[in-house]
Amino acid sequence: MHVPDGFLGVPTSVATGALAAVALGLALRGSRRELGELGAVRAGLTACFIFAAQMVNFPVAAGTSGHLLGGALAVALVGPWTAVLVMSCVLVVQALVFADGGVTALGTNILLMGVVGVGVATLVSYGVTAILGRRGRAVGRPVGRGGVIAASAAGAFVSVPTAAAAFCLLYAIGGAVPIPLGALTLAMVGTHLLIGVGEAVITAAVVGAVLAVRPDLVRLAGREGTPVTAVTLADGTVVLRSAVGGAASGVGVSSGGGASGDGADADVRRRAERPRLGRGTAVIALAATVVVAGGLSLFASTSPDGLEHVAGALGFAGSAVSPLVHTPLADYGIAGLGAVGTTLAGLFGVALTLGLGLLVVSGVRRGRPRGAGAVDDQPRPTEERR
């Protein structure tokens, strides 16, 4: 649902750009606490995976396709404020390098997908986990893996048609071609409800996969009262376990070494509050991203996406302009190279998005004041010894 240049008039584009700038300023400030827990690499990998996944259009109906927006997925993995930054990095690379979304419409796209989409996904997914958490506490059971997956899927499903409805409102304010608001809303929301189903399925699959192997890396799970427990084994090894499932990570504690008593407990708590991504996990995540961008993208549907389809049906597709349409990597390909060009463009986009994401979030983390790494709203680990 990338809005091109020309769909909205200049005053509306300037206004959405200003709103997006304000939202980014708030996100830069709000993400400091999240990034103190996450680390730059985790946020950067989330950004480049979403970029890769957006290359894979899936068929919807009647010659229409859709693709992952990714706001709900980013919220589940890295938190709402960082999700705004992640989505903005993806959209900047797409607009300036791949001519996907307009340059003057960049603020509009950040507002729709990076602010509205992320905001709605946050309200829905955290709302669902809160409800499930209250019910679970009533019977002495925390939110399980299925609850976290359902919450992220619900946020994903609702976020897509809501962003589409927000576009309709902007178009009613400053659209290039007069279109009845009712007809536009019916077409956009109806089409994007179907795309929202695909968004929910993809989001649930990715969140479920991460929960299965590293539940401590799903921030949506950690935020809803699922304690991380430090279990000291007979050999002195401390293993951090999450109620969502499995061992989160392990750290050896020598029974005769200097790391013991309160110092060891404090170290375990710090590690529990700030889950380490790990080199192996990072390599696996990057490999999966490369497979999506360089392989699965070759099987993407060539049908127009939801916005393009609606614009063509209602007669305002001709107002779109793109000053970057003839750039070397426009439309995620390289002229004359066919599938190889798509693969190379995808891999370059992954590298560029990862680099931009790391640059942005590393700058945010460096800007944190001393002591900002503490995560006061995170549940403290309890201790079990045997």
pLDDT tens per residue, range 2-43: 999 999 999 999 999 999 999 999 999 989 888 876 778 999
User: Does residue 141 register a pLDDT over 70?
Assistant: no
The CATH number assigned to the domain holding 332 equals 1.10.1760.20
Kindly state whether residue 3 falls inside one of the protein's structural domains.
no
Looking up tokens 């020309």, which residue turns up? Answer: 6
pLDDT interval class at 335 (50, 70, 90): confident
Kindly state whether residue 340 falls inside one of the protein's structural domains.
yes
Strand 383-385 and strand 228-232: the pairing is parallel
- pTM score: 0.83
pLDDT interval class at 228 (50, 70, 90): very low
Calculate mean pLDDT across residues 132-140: 65
Kindly state whether residue 185 falls inside one of the protein's structural domains.
yes
pLDDT interval class at 263 (50, 70, 90): low
Supply the pLDDT for residue 34: 82
144 & 221 share domain: yes
Supply the pLDDT for residue 322: 75
Calculate mean pLDDT across residues 180-191: 96
More confident residue, 38 or 61: 61
Q: How many domains does the chain have?
A: 2
The CA angle 268-274-279, to the nearest 5 degrees, is 100
User: Does residue 379 register a pLDDT over 50?
Assistant: no
Alpha-carbon gap, residue 195 to 67, rounded angstroms: 7
Give phi and psi for 383, each to the nearest 5.
-120, 130
136 & 252 share domain: no
Alpha-carbon gap, residue 338 to 331, rounded angstroms: 12
Residue 241: CB partners within 8 Å, gap ≥ 6? 228, 229, 231, 247, 248
197, two tokens: 């189903």
Q: CA-CA-CA-CA torsion for 95, 101, 106, 112, nearest 10 degrees?
A: -130
| Long-range pairs of 234-241 with CB within 8 A, sequence gap ≥ 24 | 234/386, 238/264, 238/268, 240/216, 240/268, 240/271, 240/272, 240/381
More confident residue, 175 or 277: 175
User: Does residue 229 register a pLDDT over 50?
Assistant: no
CB atoms within 10 A of CB 250: 13
Of 214, 239, 267, the position where a domain reaches its end is 267
Contact in structure between 231 and 384 (CB atoms under 8 Å): yes
287 & 256 share domain: no
More confident residue, 307 or 223: 307
Cα distances (angstroms) measured from residue 139 to each of 17, 134, 223, 382 = 48, 9, 19, 20
CB atoms within 10 A of CB 238: 22
237 & 346 share domain: no
The CA angle 335-337-341, to the nearest 5 degrees, is 85
339 & 247 share domain: no
More confident residue, 202 or 326: 202
Calculate mean pLDDT across residues 310-335: 87
Alpha-carbon gap, residue 49 to 38, rounded angstroms: 16
Q: Which of 137-141, 145-149, 330-334 has the lowest mean pLDDT?
A: 137-141
Of 267, 288, 318, the position where a domain reaches its end is 267
350 & 376 share domain: yes
Supply the pLDDT for residue 326: 74
User: How many residues make up the chain in this entry?
Assistant: 386
Supply the pLDDT for residue 247: 41
User: Does residue 144 register a pLDDT over 80?
Assistant: yes
305 & 358 share domain: yes
User: Does residue 323 register a pLDDT over 80?
Assistant: no
220 & 301 share domain: yes
User: Does residue 362 register a pLDDT over 90?
Assistant: no
For every residue of 189-239, DSSP letters joined together read HHHHHHHHHHHHHHHHHHHHHHHHH-GGG-HHHHTTT--EEEEE-TTSEEE
User: Does residue 109 register a pLDDT over 60?
Assistant: yes
> Which amino acid is it at 142?
P
User: Does residue 349 register a pLDDT over 80?
Assistant: yes
Kindly state whether residue 61 falls inside one of the protein's structural domains.
yes
pLDDT tens per residue, range 65-98: 999 999 999 999 999 999 999 999 999 999 999 9
User: Does residue 353 register a pLDDT over 70?
Assistant: yes
Domain extent at residue 181:
10-226+279-385
Alpha-carbon gap, residue 46 to 249, rounded angstroms: 20
Kindly state whether residue 4 falls inside one of the protein's structural domains.
no
Supply the pLDDT for residue 200: 98
Kindly state whether residue 273 falls inside one of the protein's structural domains.
no
Percent of the chain whose pLDDT exceeds 90: 61
User: Does residue 272 register a pLDDT over 60?
Assistant: no
Of 237, 267, 297, the position where a domain reaches its end is 267
More confident residue, 219 or 245: 219
Calculate mean pLDDT across residues 139-168: 90
91 & 74 share domain: yes
Calculate mean pLDDT across residues 256-268: 48
292 & 313 share domain: yes
221 & 232 share domain: no
Kindly state whether residue 214 falls inside one of the protein's structural domains.
yes
Alpha-carbon gap, residue 247 to 49, rounded angstroms: 24
Kindly state whether residue 1 falls inside one of the protein's structural domains.
no
161 & 88 share domain: yes
Q: What's the whole-number average pLDDT of the chain? A: 83
Contact in structure between 175 and 9 (CB atoms under 8 Å): yes
